[in-house]
Chain A
Amino acid sequence: MKLENGHISEHSLMFGVYCFMQASMLRTAFIVGVTKNDSWAMAFTGLALALVLVAIYAALLRRYQQKNLFEINELIFGNVLGKVFSALYLFFFLTIAALNARDLGNFAESSVLPGTPLTAFILMFLMVCVYAIRKGIENMMRLATVLSFVAAGALVFNVVLILKNVNIEFLKPMFQLPFKNYVQGTVTVAAIPMGEILAFTMITPMLGKNKKAGKMMALGLIYSVISLSIIMLRDIVTLGPLLGIVRLPSFESIRYISLAGVMTRMESLYAVILISLFLFKTVVLLYASVLGLAQILNFKSYSPLTLICGAFVLFYSLIVTKSAMENEEWGASVAPFFSLSFELMLPVIALATAMIKRMLKKKEAQQ
């Protein structure tokens, strides 16, 4: 029995990962608060850590061809314990989806659509998400290619326009902060935006053959890391010490663009692209939750659960955090560990169990 019959190409997956990661550029404030003017390097050290995570997911996916994360859980741990693990992942996906919806809501409320109630904005946003999932996630994945090029193009455009106002000296002194700041920066960047691509393990069976899933996820991650470091470099050389105090560094540095009095007010462009990217990210997370829920409940089809899950995420996002400040504090303190316990701990347990089971089986066969 298969819940999802769609097919996606390998490149769609790669661009999907890229889009998914680009949506996190709003969250760079977590990292720049810690590692200041060296944050751009954290993208690369974080990548090293995130590639370990991808290797673990790839190992799991290779062992169980054409199965998604929740099916793998049941195969490894059996019906009951497997469902408990799946439920934990489900909680994680829903929480991340709610946090992202709320993040975007806060952004829209404060800077793009002032006066619009948060609930109204998130409602509209999630309605589109639900619609996208109902029409099939494969369309969304195909759209990711276009979206990636738009996002990358806008990034290049913004960087070129701001070049007039930058000061390269702001990058100095390099690597003078206490070592633990770099550890914190690396773990944060690996756990918060990068590790969240765990959600793609629900989509990889659509590739048909699981073999290249890991490679494509890694490639997507590498491209997005390049973008991320460019974004952070741009913010550092534009804002300098201001970086430590502004709430949305990318937004502020784009707001500063003013070329010949014509090329100004670029943040509206940024906002539109950001909302599209968040839409993609939330769709992936919501899809992972819906598909997983259908799997846990042994449904024949996941589509009847889409709307109600969307409704749940709407109300969940209203209470998942109280304010932007709380969200920020959470992101800088506990969030990396919370994310890592799902992104690292649970998959490692699953992989270890699978390996032990296999070894036991081999022994039995030998005896």
Chain B
Amino acid sequence: MKYFLCLAGFAVVAALDFPTLIKSKKRRELAIYSAIFIMVLAFAVLVVADGTMKSTIQVIKPFYRDILHLSFKKA
């Protein structure tokens, strides 16, 4: 179900964006847009599929706290 909803959402995005891009006849922009579209779609499917994915701030925090030693202590 959730995959279906996700894909349906992206189908709407595609339906809204691609016609104008194709009409404008800018091949380069179309190609780049398609690449971005596929990347975001892949990312979305990953997020939907994997509930245990590490959060972004979980990834960034150790970098600042342990490598750069820049961190406040939580009061």
Decide yes or no whether A152 CB sits under 8 A from chain B.
no
Cβ of A266 within 8 Å of any chain B Cβ, yes or no, is no
Binary A-proximity of B9-49 (CB < 8 A = 1, otherwise 0):
11001001100110010100100110011001001100110
Contact B13 A308 (CB under 8 A): yes
Beyond A297-B32, A333-B65, is A327–B57 a contact (Cβ under 8 Å)? Answer: yes
Within 8 Å by CB of B33, from A304, A311, A336, lies A304
Residues of chain B contacted by A321 (CB below 8 angstroms):
55-57
Partner of A333 from the list B26, B40, B55, B73 (CB cut-off 8 Å) is B73
Q: Contact: A305 with B47, CB < 8 Å?
A: no
User: Chain A interface secondary structure, helix, strand, loop or mixed?
Assistant: helix
Q: Tell whether, in the assembled complex, residue A315 and residue B71 are in contact, meaning their CB atoms are under 8 Å apart.
A: no
Does A169 count as interface, using CB distance less than 8 angstroms?
Answer: no
Inter-chain contacts of A34 with B (CB < 8 A): 72, 75
Bound Cα distance A98, B73 (Å) = 24
Q: Is A219 an interface residue, CB under 8 A from the partner?
A: no
State the CA gap A322–B57 with chains docked (Å).
9
Distance (Å) between the CB of A356 and the closest chain B CB? 25
Inside 8 A of B68's CB, which chain A residues have their CB?
337
A320 & B55 in contact (Cβ 8 Å cutoff)? yes
Majority DSSP secondary structure for residues of B touching A: helix
Q: How far is the CA of A114 from the CA of B15 in the complex (A)?
A: 33
Q: How far is the CA of A181 from the CA of B54 in the complex (A)?
A: 30
Pick the contact of B36: A123, A305, A318 (CB < 8 A): A305
The closest CB in chain B to the CB of A123 belongs to: B9
- The interface residues of chain A lying within 8 Å CB-to-CB of B44 are 311, 315
Nearest Cβ on chain B to A353's Cβ, whole angstroms = 22
The distance in angstroms between the C-alpha atoms of A327 and B57, with both chains bound, is 8
Instruction: Give chain A residues whose Cβ lies under 8 Å from the Cβ of B75.
Output: 33-34, 181, 184, 332
A304-B20, A338-B64 known; A332+B40 contact, CB < 8 A: no
A319 with B55: CB separation less than 8 A? yes
Which residue in chain B gives the minimum CB-CB distance to A188? B72
The CA-CA distance from A330 to B71 in the complex, in Å, is: 10
Produce 1/0 per residue, A320-335, CB < 8 A to B: 1110001101101111
A299 on the interface (CB 8 Å rule)? yes
A85 and B69 alpha carbons, distance in the complex (Å): 23
Asked whether A332 lies within 8 Å of B74 as measured between CB atoms, the reply is yes
CB distance from B73 to the nearest CB of A (A): 7
Q: Which of A224-281 contact B (CB under 8 A)?
A: none
- Whether A307 is near chain B, meaning CB under 8 Å from some CB there, is yes
Residue of A nearest to B62 (CB): A334
Q: How far is the CB of B70 from chain A (nearest CB, A)?
A: 4
Q: Indicate whether A311 sits within 8 Å of B56 (C-beta atoms), given known contacts A184-B72, A304-B29, A304-B33.
A: no
Using a CB–CB cutoff of 8 Å, the interface residues on chain B facing chain A are 9-10, 13, 16-17, 20-21, 24, 26, 29, 32-33, 36-37, 40, 43-44, 47-48, 53-58, 60-61, 64-65, 68, 70-75
A-B contact pairs, 9 of them (CB 8 A): A308-B17, A308-B37, A315-B43, A316-B56, A321-B56, A326-B58, A330-B57, A333-B74, A334-B61
Residues of A at under 8 Å CB distance from B? 33-34, 95, 98-99, 123, 181, 184, 187-188, 297, 299-300, 304-305, 307-308, 311-312, 315-316, 318-322, 326-327, 329-330, 332-338
Given contacts A123-B9, A319-B47, A337-B64, could you give 14 more A-B pairs where the C-beta distance is less than 8 Å?
A34-B75, A181-B75, A300-B24, A305-B33, A307-B13, A308-B17, A311-B13, A311-B40, A315-B48, A319-B54, A320-B56, A332-B72, A337-B68, A337-B70
Give 9 nearest A-B pairs by CB, closest first. A337-B70, A332-B74, A34-B75, A334-B64, A315-B47, A315-B44, A330-B57, A320-B56, A322-B55
